[in-house]
Structure 1
Amino acid sequence: MTFYQAAKPFVQKKLNAYSNALSEGRAKDAFRHLEDAHVIGQHSTKLHCVAHFYMLKHGLKHGDVKECLGQILRFIGAFTKTAFGLIPNGNTGGANISPFKPLPISQSNQIILDKIKHAQSQS
């Protein structure tokens, strides 16, 4: 099983949680779900780009110019650098954080990443 295959359901769950929180008017909570999706999916070019695409859409929806510009640059970086492993582990992906800065991974996201590794090792 590839990383993409193992991680996709977890990233999708975070994207669904994002949509739910957004529909309930909880924009800050919603964005945190996108940050989690980014941390979980950043080792797959496709999932990494999806996370940045959702962050860009979030910035557009909320008129956040800094977020939009940051996400355009991050999307390009995700598309061109993920396959080479040039990612800062744990980085949450928002424009409020340097795109080069590794960050500690939350316990809940680490549990998910461990499940993904386990699923990969079982195939």
Structure 2
Amino acid sequence: MNRKFTKNIAPVVKDEIQLYEVANSKGENDRAFNHLENAHVLGQESTYWHVKVHFLMFAWSIRNRNTKEFFGQILRIVGALTKTAIGLVPIGNTGGSNISPFKKLPLKPEHRVAILKAKGNA
């Protein structure tokens, strides 16, 4: 996806990352990861945001000693780096290791609106 999308989607992705940081600081691990999943859905068509969110998920896995997530995020970081720019992203996928990295999922209405707006289609 182009730089315009990366710039336009930034505010909503940053909002989710900030909510992640707040939840994480309170020890609300599941809620924190859920905000990373939201950030992933919103930003995955931008190589920058896609890689950044997977890196944050990787860091989350280390802090929470989650081996499955740790190894899953290594694979996903490589995929985000190499596949995003050519459009190989499964829309709606939440980015965690609890789901196939190839599986498309339905978008939440608020995510759909934010993505369309960032693309200039809303």
- TM-score range for the pair, normalised by the shorter chain length: over 0.9
**Alignment match, 2:39:** 37
**Alignment match, 1:116:** 118
Q: Which runs of 5+ in 1 are unaligned?
A: none
Q: Summarize deviations over 1:76-114 as a string: whole Å, max 9, x none.
A: 000000000001000000000000000011122122213
**Alignment match, 2:105:** 103
How many residues of Structure 1 are paired with residues of Structure 2 in the alignment?
120
* TM-score between both structures, scaled by the size of structure 2: 0.93
**Alignment match, 1:59:** 61
**Alignment match, 1:3:** 5
**Shift, 1:9, TM fit:** 1.4
Q: Which amino acid aligns with 2:100?
A: S
Percentage of identical aligned residues = 45
Moved over 3 A (4+): none
* Distance across 1 between alignment mates of 2:46 and 2:13: 11
**Shift, 1:117, TM fit:** 2.4
**Alignment match, 1:22:** 24
2:71 to 50, 69, 72: 69
